Structure 1
């Protein structure tokens, strides 16, 4: 796995995973950028949310949990002007008929397998999780 970033102009750059996928990164106008994309720091949090969503989906498939909506919010907090996240709150919202205990077990297994979450944990970031079951339409 390899990531490459190429400066384009100002504070803006393109990041690629060298498999043909590219993301524009920048900083807000107030910090000298032109706000053309998410910051690298924001992408870290977006990656955590995406990883939990992806791995939960994979685990749910194996556990035969069917759903028609799955959303994951990751909220990063920095206490006392820390240079990085000190805490992350994950809220998983799912529309399913599966039991609460089955969803909780799926999330438990997800957290063991989510590589981005493991990385945050190893970095000492305190992470809390909540599950909200949406109403079936």
Structure 2
């Protein structure tokens, strides 16, 4: 696995995964950028959200339950002027006929398996979560 970042202009850069995918990172205008994309720090939090979503999907299939909607919000918190996240709140919204216990179990397994979450945990970031079970419309 390899990532390459190439400066493009101002504070903006393009990051590639060397598999044909890329994203732009930049700073907001208030910090001297042109706001052409998320900051690297925001991308880190976005990666956690995406990882939980992906791994939950995989675990749910292994547990043999379906869902019709899935959203994961991650909120990063920097307490006492910390330079990085001290806490992350994960909010999972899922529409499924599975029991609350099955969804909870799936999320617990997901949080243990999510590589991005494991990195956060190893860095000492406190993660809390909540589940909102959506009703079918």
Normalised TM-score (structure 2): 0.99
SS at match of 1:67: coil
Structure 1 counterpart of 2:80: 80
Residue 136 (structure 1) shift: 1.1
Aligned length: 137
Task: Give structure 2 stretches of 5+ with no counterpart.
Answer: none
Aligned counterparts of 1:65 and 1:118: Cα–Cα separation in 2: 24
Hey, what does 2:68 align to over in structure 1?
Answer: 68
Which position in structure 2 is the counterpart of 1:19? 19
**Displacement of 1:103 after TM fit?**
0.4
**Which secondary structure state, in structure 2, belongs to the residue aligned with residue 35 of structure 1?**
coil
State the partner residue of 2:47.
47
* Partner Cα separation in structure 1 for residue 36 and residue 68 of structure 2: 32
For 1:38 and 1:30, locate their aligned partners in 2 and report how far apart those are by CA, in whole Å: 13
Q: Which runs of 5+ in 1 are unaligned?
A: none
Alpha-carbon distance, 1:42 to partner: 0.1
The alpha-carbon deviation at position 65 of structure 1 amounts to: 1.1
What root-mean-square deviation, in Å, do the aligned CA atoms of Structure 1 and Structure 2 show?
A: 0.5
